[in-house]
Amino acid sequence: EVQLVESGGGLVQPGGSLRLSCVASGFTLSSFEMNWVRQAPGKGLEWISYISSVDDSEHYADSVKGRFTISRDSAKNSLNLQMNSLRPEDTAVYYCARVEFGHSLGQPYWYLDLWGRGTLVSVSS
Amino acid sequence: QTAVTQEPSFSVSPGGTVTLTCGLSSGSVSTSHSPSWYQQTPGQAPRTLIYGTDIRYSGVPDRFSGSVLGNKAALTITGAQADDESDYLCVLYMGSGIWMFGGGTKLTVL
């Protein structure tokens, strides 16, 4: 079955660190562009990080730049998110999402075609 | 800083038609942003409805359609059903690995 499963969430104090993992099944994760997306309680979804399938280049939302690092582990077929200097406003459910790319009638498209079920991160003292 | 705008909430009668929109606080949405739409129920991961502006995802009923209307992306539900009551999310691809998410529209069917 093609799926993504996140893990690594939990309760952490402000200033602490956590490492999230997203394990892929049914496909080779390194062949796809991937994203981390989060949803704070009662809020909408927020894109936070992206990694390229071509050169592993990375992009981050301003809200996490300099604190979070996205990476891949090909041996484990997984995507990781190292989160440092955590703040209460980082409290959210964190999802990994796969990017699908293609063309239709000559027009390229990109979208998030596969999502995990999320892992909850709570930052509180 | 540019943001993706969506109606916070919308209501539609059963069997009615509703159009949800997705704009940019600065500028216009075009097909080059590859607008996609997702349905999300509380506690669940988003479900893909529309991608590439107007391509219906596999298994999505044909009462859901996407388009660009003026300077916004649009999701139209024709013949709304009770189980369409949900949150609807618009996502834009800005290029070079940068994505932008709207705040979502809470649709009520009553």
pLDDT band at A64 (very low <50, low <70, confident <90, very high): very high
Chain A positions in Cβ-Cβ contact with residue B51 (cut-off 8 Å): 100, 109, 111, 113
**3-class DSSP state of A89:** helix
B61-80 pLDDT, tens digit per residue, is: 999 999 999 999 999 999 99
Instruction: Work out the average pLDDT over A74-90.
Output: 97
* B99 neighbourhood in chain A, CB within 8 Å: 35, 47, 50, 112
pLDDT at A105 over 90: no
Q: Is the pLDDT of residue A89 over 90?
A: yes
Q: What is the pLDDT of residues A33-50, one digit of tens each?
A: 999 999 999 888 999 999
Give the tens place of pLDDT for each residue, B8-29.
999 999 999 999 999 999 999 9
Nearest-Cα distance to chain B for A64, in Å, is 14
Pick the closest to residue A92 from A29, A31, A20, A33 (CA basis). Answer: A20
Residue A75 has pLDDT above 90, yes or no: yes
Cα separation, B94 vs B37, whole angstroms: 15
Per-residue pLDDT at B88: 97
